[in-house]
Amino acid sequence: MSLAVAVEFLTPMPARRIVQLEDVKVRFGAGPTSFLALDRTSLTVHAGDFVAMVGPSGCGKSTILKLVTGLLRPTEGEVFVAGRQVGAERVGVGMAFQNPTMLPWLTIRQNVMLPLKIVEPYRSAFRAEKNGAFRDRAEALLAKVGLSGFGDRRPWELSGGMLQRANLCRALIHEPKLLMLDEPFGALDQFTREELWSILQALWMEARPTVFLVTHDLREAAFLATRILVMSARPGRVVEDRDVGFVRPRTIDTTYEEGFTALTHGLRSSIMAARQSEAKAS
Amino acid sequence: MTVTARLREHLNSALLIAGIFVAWELACLLFHVSPIVLPRPSQVVSTLVVDMPALWPNILQTLFTTLVGFVGGMTIGVLLGVLVGVSRTAYNTAYPLLVGFSSIPKVAVVPIFVLWFGSGTIPAVLTAMTTCLFPIVVNVATGLATTEPEMEDVLKALGATRWQVLWNVGLPRAMPYFFASLKIAVTLAFVGTVLSETVASNSGIGTVMMMASANFDVPLAFAGLFALAILGIILYAVFAVIEHRICGWASRKTELATG
Ligand SMILES: Nc1ncnc2c1ncn2[C@@H]1O[C@H](COP(=O)(O)OP(=O)(O)OP(=O)(O)O)[C@@H](O)[C@H]1O
Ligand SMILES: [Mg+2]
């Protein structure tokens, strides 16, 4: 572990806000066919948090991730990342999209190395290191998610689940301070998924990035997160904010503890309630 | 595609061509068609061989003119295509203009070029260039403008500049479109060159064919046609090979539209 990271661990960090949404409204389209995806949504994420967001489908979770990464501008309200307003300047974050969009003209390894080509400080060294240290780094990461030997393959030669794992590698390769994950394990089988939970937890405990994870899997949220946000139906708003205090490293055994089951059960009722209120509204 | 499958495809193409020639030959013999109307393929080929010393400089002239025009058209086409394709507004604004320009019959522009530059190689080069320009512009622009936003988002989320997005996503994504248009463009460039040569030049295959038909030397005119077809196939094949090398990733997917 590098010295810088070690120091960060020793000094108690003041709870820095790394992501802040203030009364954000997002409207898609214009005129009578337009609709609100988000309406006066506010939320705050502190540095070093592992936040999981759950909520009914279509409530605006992916939209929130796009706001934070600067891919989308809010119709109203403000989005801050690391104290700076998003939009004026894009903030380099790691992001795994809901659909793993690998570029088909690149190999898996080249896809994974893409952030190194774009983001400083790696960018300046990319030309020199792309067949050296950076390549090794990509291979090591691919091996961690069980994709060793697939670096030279093309995206279409991999299964959906394998692509999602490569997608995760691409989000992590440049060791971002802020990691946005949009259902990164959605297409995986139960066992692989649980395996990757542990890998992600280990990575988080090692480098302590701020993670913002969107998921439909309540066990996943409870297993990984330090904080869980529950969204209402569209237009999505945070209706519940829970801290999760299970000791780390959490293991699969944790998921069979009583407190864990109670938590996922509680989350389930909240989301059911949110869905029903939507059914009533429409 | 496996090597044997590709070989078989080539073999089929060759058989098709051979079959057509045999049918043509037999039909001419059977119906006693005069060589003044339609020469037999064997006559055309023997003319091609016998007159090769005289034809060769003209073939080179046409090839040279075509390639110069093609390279010019390609350069301008790519620049214009990128310019039009980078923004959706530019694409939507410029598209009608492009369609308008590309539907102008190129025969119509030859007299104008001759008026400006006199007869000879220059108008032929320019005609070749304008003929092959628009498929390239349209294809490059379409390739860029239809890039999936999701692919661009991957880079944008990392804070990439417009230029980086263009270089890493837009241009590679437009490559298959570009090469598809090159194959078409190179054959169109031939059409342009020969068009101009038949109207205003004193060398090149177009000129040879013009003079041959004036002298009722129909086999020679057909020999010129054959020479053009062969050159066209060779250049097409060259670009097809380059395309396969560079854009192999795209050929396993959908067939791409050509301009
Ligand atoms: N580009 C767009 N144009 C129009 N509507 C959009 C667009 N993107 C999202 N929406 C709409 O905004 C709403 C929120 O979308 P979003 O993708 O954020 O949902 P989500 O919470 O991520 O859903 P899921 O859990 O199914 O992924 C949806 O109702 C969707 O139809
Ligand atoms: Mg989503």
Peptide bond into A249 cis (omega under 30): yes
| Interface test mutation site (partner A, options B147, B150, B154, B254, max chain A beta carbons within 10 A) | B154
Structural domain total, chain A:
2
d(CA A254, CA A259): 9
Do B77 and B143 lie in one domain? The reply is yes
Residue B113 sits in which domain range? 40-258
Same domain, B171 and B246: yes
In a 3-state reduction of DSSP, which class is residue A257?
A: coil
Of the candidates B151, B157, B249, which has its C-beta nearest A71's C-beta? B157
Q: Which residues contact B104 (CB under 8 A, 6 or more apart)?
A: none
- Three-class secondary structure of residue B187 per DSSP: helix
Q: How far apart are CA A91 and CA A70, in angstroms?
A: 7
Same domain, B18 and B46: no
How close does chain A come to B38, measured CA to CA in Å? 49
CATH code for the domain in which residue A100 is found: 3.40.50.300
Apex CA A96: angle with CA A92 and CA A101, to 5°? Answer: 110
Whole-number Å distance between alpha carbons of B94 and B31: 54
Q: Which of chain A's residues have a Cβ under 8 Å away from the Cβ of B253?
A: 104, 156
Chains A and B form CB pairs within 8 A to the count of 63
pLDDT at A150: 93
Where do the H-state alpha helices sit in B51-170?
Answer: 52-85, 88-102, 110-117, 121-145, 149-156, 162-165
pLDDT of residue A54: 93
SS3 B206: helix
Mind telling me how many Å the CA of A107 is from chain B's nearest CA?
A: 10
pLDDT, position A132: 87
Of the three residues A152, A175, A198, the one that is the final residue of a domain is A175
What is the reported pLDDT for B25? 92
Question: Are residues A90 and B249, on separate chains, in Cβ contact within 8 Å?
Answer: no
The per-residue pLDDT for A90 is 55
Q: How many domains does chain B have?
A: 2
Q: Are residues A214 and A166 in the same domain?
A: no
Say how many Å lie between the CA of residue B1 and the centre of ligand 1: 40
Largest CA distance in chain B: 75
Contact B175 A115 (CB under 8 A): no
Q: What is the pLDDT of residue A113?
A: 94
Contact A240, A248 (CB under 8 A): no
Is the domain of A190 the same as that of A160?
no
A220 & A159 share domain = no
Residue A273: the pLDDT is 87
* Domain range enclosing A5: 1-15+48-69+177-282
**What is the pLDDT, as a whole number, of residue B99?**
84
- What ipTM, to 2 d.p.? 0.80
Ligand number with the minimum distance to the CA of A58 = 1
Looking at the complex, report in whole angstroms how far the Cα of residue B250 sits from the nearest Cα belonging to chain A.
8
- Give residues with Cβ within 8 angstroms of B135, minimum separation 6: B77, B102, B181, B184, B185, B188, B258, B259
Percent of chain A residues topping a pLDDT of 90: 39
Contacts of A119 in chain B (CB under 8 A): 158-159
A263 found inside a domain: yes
Q: State the pLDDT at residue B252.
A: 65
pLDDT of residue A8: 42
User: Would you give per-residue pLDDT tens digits along chain B (259 residues)?
Assistant: 567 887 888 899 889 999 999 999 999 999 988 888 888 999 899 998 998 898 899 999 999 999 999 999 999 999 999 998 888 888 888 888 888 888 888 888 888 999 999 888 899 999 999 999 999 999 999 999 888 888 888 888 888 888 999 999 999 999 999 998 998 899 999 999 999 998 888 888 999 999 998 898 888 999 999 999 999 889 988 988 888 888 878 776 544 443 3
Counting as low any pLDDT under 50, the low residues of chain A are: 1-13
Q: Counting ligands in written order, which one lies closest to the CA of residue A235?
A: 1
Domain assignment of residue A212, yes or no: yes
